[in-house]
Chain A
């Protein structure tokens, strides 16, 4: 029997062999497995060609070398802090410098500092940007060209030797430099010459105060005003919360007497006499609009009422009301030993009167400290005038200009500039080619204060040290090092300061020095000896009658620009003035009545002239200003600010708002007048003429919004309860006074958020807030907020996450009250923004934060529309950061936002997370105050409190329980986590109890 064969198909049965061969559909071995010659050549050709091409790319050699020896305390990616001293102005506040990876990225107030006590102003906050200014000089210059230190030193040394041999005159011109070490070096340098002299002037001068004390106390000093000890404060033309002498210190001290929460319920009384609206006047309980020329008469009137002077037979000028003077005098009289009168008028007669009044009230030793006086202003116009005279007659052989800019600051700059050119050796220590440096044979640039060692003595006996936080970005050399070199004793700044301060260091100099560096300052004995009252004697005289002038010009330092020394800082240009809300330039402010009388409207370009000085400025209408005054901010029109002409995004319809080559704003230096040896910024008898031009003023808050316009009002003049205010008298009776009739919310459709852990919140005491705007810049620095430029501000697209709303209201006797309200994302519990975003790019965190997710945002802007507080900011463009170097200031913990996404206040979520991590690391709960937002940290008035609302012991929870606490637009039931404490003014009258503002 044959073997059975099983077949699968007929084909198989019929043709077995063939099918076996094709069992596999394809051969297992690919055809032609061996590479043929052609394929090989193709592959080889490609490979060689590709390799050759790849080799053609020129790649840079990149080195990434880790620290072999890690500097102490530096962990890459972690911030470290250094105590230092701010040199943004002469106030010399203590700062903590936050550094990341070897570069400073943020300044914060040093909480332990005995003078500034933890706050920092807008200028101080913005100073951190300045080391990264690419227009700073990177090397010394000689003969108009970049040079080297060896060459410059050699040449200057040779010239100085000639002068020394010829017994020529050597002068150093600076603004106040209070440091003992700095002084020592300068004195030692000058001692090498037979005729060497240090001339100190301050562009915003307080010389009359010093001169008056020289007469009344026998020593030229600037007293330290102790607002923290004053129950009655009277300010005359002194914007001590804004720009006058030491505003951070004063703000802290002043608000400490006006803080109602957690105190025994006292409040200082503050009267302010001033011509233009200032933030100080805005805080005053009584504000008297006073022409600057009348200030001496007001002082005389007070002195008369206090019995210091025989009552004048003179008819009191119509411009001052006797009742006001009586009120102030009686208030002062009843607060003897607790009263403080400060006068900012740079006039000797006025200051002598002020001293007499203060002496009579027992203020010296109580609210005025002259045993440890302030050293923040030491300038003298007498010395300056003498120097200018010497320069004019050509008798100065060498002039060193450090930290000041006379060709810009002083009037008659054309002539002065010509005279300066004739000085055989003119050396400028400016960090930029400024008006004076342009005339100098040598420019020996100083580094930024964050790059170098410096010392200050803001108050006698407080030795503040500034230490470098970064190696100098250019080849620069500090003034003390330069003068040490030119004295023939080259030492570095650290050595100089350590040696000079050794006397103050006691028995353990090394330890004391380390303590000093850690703290940022050292308390030492004051250099001065005590002085006693000598009286004004024969110099006490009646003030002259003010000249009858139609209009006077008041030039004032603005909160951002001061005297112009920060003109290269775009953050400060874009900082809205707290009062006018003007950015990017200055303008001429007129009172509404004067504007109406002259037929001037907002934005009309006017020509202001006095003598030979003339300036063309756009007009701004400013409530609360004296009718006889035109006010213009100083510090603008600086050489070099042409660079900002095109700041902002580049696009088709970008407007160029600065004509070619013209600076930001207009210089007002020519209007300074000398009044009996004191530089005065009030010029009488000016002429104002209208031009046919209009110029847009970039304001972040339109002045049309003072109130709901009458013809649109349906409420019978009722104001929106956005700002709530009460009087001190009403508050004492009922701490909840001033609460408007509120809407009650009966039920919620949804269950509230659980908030099981933290619940972050903020309370802002509007009674303490002065509007100084330090928080605005602090936020900008912390959160990488871009600068958008004038055109964009005009298009109302400023990017500040935190803005300060300014509202006016009818005050007493037809006056104007001003209130500031910091406005930032309220982190609403029922956030209107969260529900409308189609892509869930803004969400609520478990801890009550409203979080913006940049990466998810597609930019519908619905959230911004639906925000009742309008605190959301949209990236309309990719904002160029033209100065690439300035990108070094960016905070690496905060994303830089690209165009097309929404952004807003995050309540410094990066700080919250850091604080939580830190607490977790040490195994503790986050303590109240441990986490501070940038705005809170910066606030000199301590008006902002951030913390955990779920922690009943926290400051913010206590503030939220305060009867003064209210939320803006509470009736919308959005339940914001940012609330405000009602404004309280120390007024007896109850008529303002129900007052609310618009």
Chain B
């Protein structure tokens, strides 16, 4: 068996038995919130409040409270949108794609990664809503039968495709996440009493743990994974169409769909890893999020960083090779123009810094890994900022060239989106099982004597 052991390292540390898993995972939801939780939640809620106030003010006063101008119609709003959508990619990737590829190690991270996806998509969804000049009419982007001479939406508009892509992605992710939650909710129900038991009983949809239930559950889960997998590719491809179908130099490029998907996975992984590292420490789940997980995710980050870097080079080459002076200028200006600093922040955070993950020692140094994930997130935010703002600020007619600086209101909306994200995530940690108990019990023995072979 020693060969097998070498081939299949343990997925869960600490010699856990199934009962230990249940009590470990259920504990945070059954005890009172710890001071650590409050210490994390209060700042998050405060950030959310700041963002909510700023957004309220902006909706009441006008988009003029942002730093946009006649040349730059989008900046923080759509940057934040694309950033959060990107963050939202890792969850589905980990849950669905890795599930289909039978990557057992995913079991301990998939639940929180999925939750993160949902919260990130919620954060993302806010921005297209509030970036509208008249957000109270946002429902006009939905194709619904109406009395305005049956005035329909514009199916040619990539913004409309966004509406569909994001809402489908959110719906499928939410269902996928919830279906995965059902057995664990039932476990919690069985441990609970009183009102809590009744609520959990309702939420666990009458789960009875029979073989038939399990069998159907597995099939539904597999089908949903199959449904969700193409969405990993489609959502960010469609988001990238916002730019790719336009005529603006720096936007109008066919490389965007794969480039955006790679970037999304890259940033999503970084965000999952970042949160896992925090949760691992704060919630005491070291045995579940093992160094092996961290190692695997670091490798994914390294791989996607390479893809993103390749995309950056391809863009420059394409611009050079196209012979289109506007296109060439857009890229030279991006790197060397007045907003060049943002470009170099992006390149260093996304391409240069992740290269440390070539070294196994770096992948095991948790502090280093944490720092790199932060850099990657900063870098990926700047990637969207660079694509959006530095392409817009100097396009065809030099007479309309302009510059951009965010107002405090805009910064507050970004802060608020982080507040929303962390608040939701902390509420999730507090009330729902962070780890898929049912699934992880299946891999407890992996790498151990008598463990599974799959």
Shortest CB-to-CB span from B378 to chain A, Å, is 25
Q: Are A857 and B396 in contact (CB under 8 A)?
A: no
Looking at the assembled complex, report how far the CB atom of A812 sits from the nearest CB atom of chain B, in whole angstroms.
Answer: 23
A selection of 17 A-B contacts at a CB cut-off of 8 Å is A649-B62, A651-B62, A651-B65, A653-B407, A708-B329, A720-B325, A796-B71, A798-B70, A823-B397, A836-B246, A837-B157, A857-B133, A859-B63, A860-B131, A862-B157, A866-B248, A900-B134
How many residues of B are counted as interface, with CB atoms below 8 angstroms from the partner's CB atoms?
Answer: 61
Asked if A22 is at the interface of the complex by the 8 Å CB criterion, the answer is no
Report how far A212 CA is from B371 CA in the complex, Å: 82
**Complex Cα spacing A875 to B132, Å:** 11
Kindly list 16 other residue pairs between chains A and B, CB separation below 8 angstroms, not including A651-B61, A840-B153, A866-B246. A653-B408, A712-B336, A714-B320, A720-B396, A796-B69, A797-B69, A798-B70, A805-B400, A835-B157, A836-B157, A838-B153, A839-B141, A858-B135, A860-B128, A876-B62, A899-B133
CB distance from A700 to the nearest CB of B (A): 9
Output the nearest chain A residue to B156 by Cβ-Cβ distance.
A835
Interface string of B327-348 (1 = CB under 8 A from A): 0110011001100000000000
How distant is the Cα of A720 from the Cα of B71 in the complex, in angstroms? 19
- Chain A's closest residue to B63 (CB) is A876
- Which residues of B have CB within 8 Å of A807? 398-399
CA distance A216 to B429 in the complex (A): 98
Given A859-B133, A900-B133, decide whether A796 and B70 contact each other with a Cβ distance below 8 A: yes
Q: How far does the alpha carbon of A878 sit from the alpha carbon of B65 in the complex, in Å? A: 12
The yes or no answer to B74 lying at the interface (CB within 8 A) is yes
Of residues 275 to 315 in A, which have CB atoms within 8 Å of B's CB atoms? Answer: none
Q: B158-166, B188-196, B257-265, B299-307: which one contacts chain A?
A: B158-166
Whether A836 lies near B159 (C-beta < 8 A) is yes
Q: Which of A557-583 contact B (CB under 8 A)?
A: none
- Residues of A close to B246: CB separation below 8 A: 832, 836, 865-866
Contact A860 B325 (CB under 8 A): no
Chain B residue nearest to A653 in the complex (CB): B407
**A-chain residues with CB within 8 Å of residue B396 when the two chains form the complex:** 720, 722, 868-870, 969
Q: How far is the CB of B172 from chain A (nearest CB, A)?
A: 22
Contact between A712 and B132 (Cβ–Cβ < 8 Å)? no
Indicate whether A839 sits within 8 Å of B140 (C-beta atoms), given known contacts A653-B407, A859-B132, A974-B247. yes
Interchain CA distance A653-B154 in the complex, whole Å? 36
Q: Most B CB atoms within 10 A — which of A708, A722, A974?
A: A708
Interface of A is mostly: loop
Once A705-B401, A715-B328, A823-B397 are accepted as A-B contacts, the answer to whether A861 and B153 lie under 8 Å apart by CB is no
What are the 10 closest A-B residue pairs judged by CB atoms, nearest first?
A: A859-B133, A900-B133, A876-B64, A861-B73, A805-B399, A870-B400, A705-B398, A796-B69, A900-B134, A838-B159
The one of A715, A858, A864, A899 in contact with B141, judged by C-beta atoms closer than 8 angstroms, is A858
Task: Answer yes or no: A652 CB below 8 A from chain B CBs.
Answer: yes
A972-B160 in contact (CB<8A): no
- Within the complex, what minimum Cβ distance (angstroms) separates A780 from chain B? 15
Give every chain B residue within 8 A of A651 (Cβ-Cβ): 61-62, 64-65
List of B residues within 8 angstroms of A838 by Cβ: 141, 153-154, 157, 159-160, 163
A424 CA to B326 CA, complexed, in Å: 70
Q: How large is the interface on A (under 10, 10 to 19, 20 to 34, 35 or more residues)?
A: 35 or more
A858 touches B138 (CB 8 A): yes
Contact with B along A693-709 (1 / 0, CB 8 A): 00000000110111111
Complex-state Cα separation, A876 to B410, whole angstroms: 14
Chain A nearest Cβ from B133, distance in angstroms: 2
Contact of B397 among A649, A714, A870, A900 (CB under 8 A): A870
- CB of B427 within 8 Å of the partner chain: no
Q: B215 contacts the other chain (Cβ, under 8 Å)?
A: no
- In the bound assembly, the distance between CA atoms of A216 and B35 in angstroms comes to 99
- A836-B156 Cα distance, complex, nearest whole Å: 7
Per the 8 Å Cβ criterion, residues 649-675 of A in contact with B are: 649, 651-653
Question: Given A715-B328, A838-B160, A870–B70 Cβ distance below 8 Å?
Answer: yes
Q: What total count of A-B pairs have CB within 8 Å?
A: 195
Asked whether B399 lies within 8 Å of A864 as measured between CB atoms, the reply is: no
Contact status of A862 and B151, CB under 8 A, knowing A857-B133, A868-B396: no
B325 vs chain A, min Cβ distance (A): 5
> In the complex, what's the smallest C-beta–C-beta distance from B388 to chain A, in angstroms?
9
Bound-state CA distance A864–B247 (Å) is 11
CB of A859 within 8 A of CB of B134, answer: yes
Chain B nearest CB: distance from A333 CB in Å? 40
A901 CB-CB contact with B under 8 Å: yes
List B residues 358-413 near A (Cβ within 8 Å): 392, 395-403, 407-409
Q: Which of B65, B71, B248, B400 contacts A653 (CB 8 A)?
A: B65
Contact A702 B248 (CB under 8 A): no
Known: A797-B64, A857-B134, A900-B134. A714 touches B328 (CB 8 A): yes
The answer to whether B67 touches A795 (Cβ under 8 A) is yes
Instruction: State which of B62, B71, B137, B399 has its C-beta within 8 Å of the C-beta of A858.
Output: B137
In the complex, per-residue mask of A704-726: 1 if CB is within 8 Å of any chain B CB, else 0? 11111101111100101010000
Complex Cα–Cα for A656 and B153 (A): 42
Interface centre among A702, A857, A900 (most CB of B within 10 A): A900
Closest to A902 in B: B133
Contact indicator per residue, chain A 873-907, by CB within 8 Å of chain B (1) or not (0): 11111100000000000000000000111100000
Which B residues touch A652, using CB under 8 A?
A: 57, 61, 65, 409
The interface residues of chain A lying within 8 Å CB-to-CB of B336 are: 711-712
> Do residues B134 and A722 form an inter-chain contact, with CB atoms below 8 A?
no
Does B152 touch A at the CB level, under 8 Å? yes
B34 within 8 A of A: no
Please, which residues of chain A bring their CB within 8 A of the CB of B395?
868, 870
Per-residue interface assignment for chain A, residues 754 to 778, with 1 indicating a CB less than 8 Å from any chain B CB and 0 otherwise: 0000000000000000000000000
CB–CB A899/B62 < 8 A: yes
**Chain A residue with the shortest CB-CB distance to B140:** A839
Name which of B135, B396, B397 has the most chain A CB atoms within 10 A of its CB.
Answer: B397
A870 touches B71 (CB 8 A): yes
Whether B65 and A868, one on each chain, are in contact in the complex, defined by CB atoms closer than 8 angstroms, is no
Complex contacts, B65 vs chain A, CB 8 Å? 651-653
Chain A residue, CB-CB nearest to B394: A705
Contacts of A210 in B (CB 8 A): none
Interface string of A837-871 (1 = CB under 8 A from B): 11110000000000000001111111011101110
